[in-house]
Structure 1
Amino acid sequence: MRLDIAGRLTGVALALAALAGAAPALAQNQPFNMGDAKAGAAAPSPERMKLANELLVANGEATSFDAMIPGIIEQAAGSFVQANPDLIRDLREVAKQLVPQYESRRSEIVQILARTYATAFTDSELEELLTFYRSAVGRKLVENRQKLLDAGLSGIQAWSATFSREMEGRVREEMKKRGFTI
């Protein structure tokens, strides 16, 4: 599997896990109630939410979940394939047909993330983060993030393969000391 696909799938998987509590609302085509996300937590001020939303745009996270709604719809339609394999073409068509109807729900995802940031950071911290992401080096980070992650993952995979071979050799050595040849 290519690294960029793996990275996107990992992102979608993490996003799905983060939104597991939103599934009932999504299934009912009802907007997710932010109060459900953190019962008893005070809502961040509108000013802090505005800063958090600006940060999500500046750091690129506002668009990082763009594939999530189509993915959930495709997964929902795909869940019927095993029981109805003859309907695969129709299920795919239905999924494609539903995507545009639910694209507007993406803002709910962004608002969940904005509230998370608004709860975790003060106004001044959000402003500092915005200053960084609006700076030349911050924009460079956002623009190159995927390339950096891909290169890093590629390096980690190569290291992991080498380390794994090294450990296989060490295990053989230790087993040989115990009288086993593997």
Structure 2
Amino acid sequence: MKLKSLLTAGPFVGAALFFAGFLPLSAQAQEFSESHIEAARQVVKETKALGSFDDILPLLAEQTRTLFIQSDPSRTQEVVDVSTEVALKLAPRRSELNNSIYEIWARRFSEEELNQLAEFYRSPIGTKLAENGPTITALAIGAARQWQDAISTEMVTLVREELDKRAAE
């Protein structure tokens, strides 16, 4: 499922989106040259960063269908038809998201740096990183969660033991 890919798309996508939220509106409205945005577009293309957002609109359409069908099951087919039509009408707006992502990259890297990144991601090792990045990130998150669970259990046990020891004293 692409939503899972969205959540594990790698640190470069997640960090860029996360930190963009902390920018003042004036910084978010910054203008970039066409060549700067094109350099960002190339990096995003080479990192395959946009693919992780492909299921947003279909997921929203499905959620909308479910909402309307639950409120009036007798109109199920009509709801399916209308929500599909509306989703298709909204599909061209995907470019808004893409442009926002290009600008996020452009804010963080100079045009020269973006060109260097694009060149790197076109190399064999860069291509391998782009292809394996999401999997590596997902595995690292899984390992961190396992470690956290183990440490959490150990911490609770050690704190309980220490508190019991102090209570006995």
Give TM class, smaller chain: 0.7 to 0.9
Q: Does the CA-based 8 Å contact 2:46-2:122 persist in structure 1?
A: yes
Return closer, same or farther for 1:125/1:138 CA change in 2, 3 Å cut-off.
same
Instruction: Give the aligned partner of residue 73 of structure 2.
Output: 86
Instruction: Give the aligned partner of residue 57 of structure 1.
Output: 45
Instruction: Give the aligned partner of residue 7 of structure 2.
Output: 10
Q: Does the CA-based 8 Å contact 2:69-2:76 persist in structure 1?
A: no
- Cα distance per residue 1:102-147 (max 9 Å; x no partner): 2222121110110121222111111111111111111001111222
CA distance in 1, matches of 2:76, 2:158: 51
Unaligned runs of 5+ in 2: none
- Cα distance per residue 1:31-68 (max 9 Å; x no partner): xxxxxx94474310011111111111011112221111
TM-score between both structures, scaled by the size of structure 2: 0.74
**Percent of residue pairs bearing the same amino acid type:** 27
Report the AA paired with residue 95 of structure 1: S
**How many pairs are equivalent?**
156
Instruction: Give the aligned partner of residue 122 of structure 2.
Output: 134
CA distance in 2, matches of 1:150, 1:7: 9
CA distance in 2, matches of 1:177, 1:144: 49
CA distance in 2, matches of 1:85, 1:147: 41
Runs in 1 of length 4+ with deviation above 6 angstroms? none
The 5-angstrom pairing of residues 66-81 of structure 1 reads 66-80=54-68
TM-score between both structures, scaled by the size of structure 1: 0.69
**Displacement after TM superposition at 1:78 (Å):** 4.3
Match of 1:178, SS state, is helix
Q: Does the CA-based 8 Å contact 2:3-2:56 persist in structure 1?
A: no
Structure with the larger RCO, 1 or 2 (CA within 8 Å, 6+ apart): 2
Return closer, same or farther for 1:80/1:66 CA change in 2, 3 Å cut-off.
same
> What root-mean-square deviation, in Å, do the aligned CA atoms of Structure 1 and Structure 2 show?
3.2
Question: Higher helix share goes to which structure?
Answer: 2
Return closer, same or farther for 1:147/1:11 CA change in 2, 3 Å cut-off.
closer
